[in-house]
Structure 1
Amino acid sequence: MSRALFPGWRPDAAGREQLAAILARLRAAWPAGAPPLRPRRPDQWHATLCFLGHDMAHVVTPALLDALADVAARVAPHALEIGRLDYWPRPGVVVALPRNPAPLQTLCDAVDAAVRACGVAAAQATTRPHITLAHTDRGLAATPWLAGVDCRSAPLRVDDFELLVNPGGRYEPLGRWRLSGGAGGS
C-alpha cells in the first residue's frame, strides 16, 4: 500500500464542528438525482501544505524535521474563514476554500521552501489551499448551485501543522509544530 507523505494542517475539534455544519448544508443542497456525495470523515479533513509523494519515509530526516520547526517559528498562527465551496471535476471532489487564502498560502510556501532547502523535491506544491469535504463522480457538469451553499461559520484556527503519513484510510502524525511567528491571531 502506498504511504502518502505530506505536511498538513488539520482542524481542531471546534473547526471540525464548523466544517461538519457546512457539510450538512452541502448535503441538504445536493441535487436530487445527482451522483452520490461521499463525505470524508472529520478525522480526514486537512489542508495539504505541500505533497511530498508516496513511499517517501527516507526523506524524514532530522534536517527536515528541524526545517519544519523553523517554519513554525517564523509563521504566525491565524484564522481561516471558509469563503465558498467548489467542485473540482478532475479529482471529483467538493472542496472548502478560504475566504482569504493568503495566510494559509504563506504557510504552504514556507513549508515548500523548507522542504526544497533540505534537498527534497515535493511532488506537488500547494497553490490553492483547500479542505476536501467530499468525493463524488469525476467530470460532472457545471455546479452553479454550490454558490448558494451557506459557508458562514466561526473562523477555524490555524495554530499548528503536522508531518502526516497516510498508510491507508487514516493520517498518522510523524511530527507536530505550533505556529509561533509574528504577531498572530488575525
Structure 2
Amino acid sequence: MRLFFGLDPLAGDKRAIDSWRQRVATADGRPVPPANFHLTLAFLGEVDERHLEALCDTVDDLALPGTGELRLDRVGYWPRPGILWIGPAAPQPALESLAGDLGRAGQAVGARRERRRFVPHLTLYRGCRVPPPAPAEPPDLPFRFRGVTLFESRRGRDGIRYEPVAAWEGGGFSQR
C-alpha cells in the first residue's frame, strides 16, 4: 500500500481553492482534481498491509489535532518535479512537530524516512514544464480540517485517487 498522512480540507474549502485556481492560477501542468486536494504531513511510501494495524495503533497514542484552520496565502513552485502549490506563509511549528511524529510512526513499521524538509502545501498542478506566472490575485483561502487522515494513493484508469484508510479526530480516536 502506498500511504501518506495528511490533512483533508472541508468540501467547501476544496471548492473555494478550485475556484481561485480556475480564476487566477494558470499553469501548463496537469491540474490536481479537487477531490485530491490535501496537505501532506508525512509520506510513507510503500507499507505492507500487514503493518497497517500496528501503524494505526502507534498513531492512536499521539496527541493529534481535532479541528483546525490554516490560511493558504503563499504561492510556490518547485521546478523539479514541476509542482505549483499554495500553502501558509506563516511558520507552522505545530504542523512541523506533528509531521515529525507521524513520520516516526511510519518508520516504526518500516516505512521510509522522508529526507526533504517539511513544507506545508497543497498541490494545484503537477508536471509543469515552465515556471507559471504569478497569480493576478494572491491567495487568501481558508483550509479547515477535522483531524488527521491516513490516505492510500491508488492508480486507476482515471488517474491517481487518494482513498482514506483511517482518520483521527484528536484524542487518539481512530476510524478505520
What is the TM-score of this pair, normalised by structure 2?
0.79
Cross-structure match for 2:163: 172
Quote the offset at 1:180 in angstroms. Answer: 4.2
**Structure with a larger share of its residues in strand:** 2
Residue 85 of structure 2 is aligned to residue 95 of structure 1: yes
Cα deviations across residues 54-86 of structure 1 (Å, max 9, x unaligned)? 3x2346332210122223x44353211002111
Amino acid across the alignment from 1:110: D
Cross-structure match for 2:147: 160
Cross-structure match for 2:51: 60
Residue 141 of structure 2 is aligned to residue 149 of structure 1: no
Residues 65-144 of structure 1: pairs in structure 2 closer than 5 A = 65-71=56-62, 73-75=63-65, 77-102=67-92, 103-116=94-107, 118-124=108-114, 127-138=118-129, 140=130
In the aligned structure 1, how far is the partner of 2:17 from the partner of 2:51? 31
In the aligned structure 2, how far is the partner of 1:24 from the partner of 1:81? 19
Cross-structure match for 2:8: 10
Contact 2:73 2:138 in 1 (8 A): no
Contact 2:149 2:165 in 1 (8 A): yes
- Percentage identity across aligned positions? 29
Contact 2:14 2:34 in 1 (8 A): yes
Amino acid across the alignment from 1:109: G
Quote the offset at 1:91 in angstroms. Answer: 0.7
Amino acid across the alignment from 2:24: L
Q: What SS does structure 2 have at the residue aligned with 1:179?
A: coil
Amino acid across the alignment from 1:163: L
Question: What root-mean-square deviation, in Å, do the aligned CA atoms of Structure 1 and Structure 2 show?
Answer: 2.5
**Structure with a larger share of its residues in helix:** 1
Which consecutive segments of 4 or more residues in structure 1 shift more than 6 A?
none
Residue 48 of structure 2 is aligned to residue 24 of structure 1: no
In the aligned structure 2, how far is the partner of 1:4 from the partner of 1:173? 12
Quote the offset at 1:48 in angstroms. Answer: 1.6
Amino acid across the alignment from 1:151: P
Q: What SS does structure 2 have at the residue aligned with 1:170?
A: strand
In the aligned structure 1, how far is the partner of 2:78 from the partner of 2:24? 15
Q: What SS does structure 2 have at the residue aligned with 1:149?
A: coil
What is the TM-score of this pair, normalised by structure 1?
0.75
Q: What SS does structure 1 have at the residue aligned with 2:76?
A: strand
In the aligned structure 1, how far is the partner of 2:118 from the partner of 2:2? 19
